[in-house]
Amino acid sequence: MSTAPHAPTASAAPTVHTSTRTYIIVFAWLAVMTAIEVAITAAGLPENIRIIVLVVLAVIKAALVILFYMHLLHDSKWYWILLIAPIFFVVMLTQFLIIR
């Protein structure tokens, strides 16, 4: 029996590391978008416009978090498939709730 450490296999994908600068930039954009959301809420815009703008900002913020902080940007494409399926069901549920 050998006690030598196992060598990495050739099929292992190289790890991509995101720089600290990128994380800080993404954090700054998230903070700016949060401030915009607060300003839009306090501005007294018509409800239809306010809801659309807030939902768009929320989707952008969620995408930034998923791509950078959850590292989906550099992960396997299988994770994308596992993410898309629940999003489909959320959209369908939202459509059923909106229709009255």
Q: Structure tokens of 64?
A: 């930034």
Q: What is the pLDDT of residues 11-67, one digit of tens each?
A: 555 677 789 999 999 999 999 999 999 999 999 899 999 999 999 999 999 999 988
Query: What does the domain layout of the chain look like in residue ranges?
Result: 20-69, 76-100
- Higher-confidence position of 82 and 16: 82
Cα–Cα distance for residue pair 88/49, rounded to 1 Å: 24
Mean pLDDT of 73-77: 83
How confident is the model at residue 40, as a pLDDT?
A: 95
75 DSSP 8-state letter: S
Cα–Cα distance for residue pair 43/50, rounded to 1 Å: 9
Q: Which amino acid is at 14?
A: P
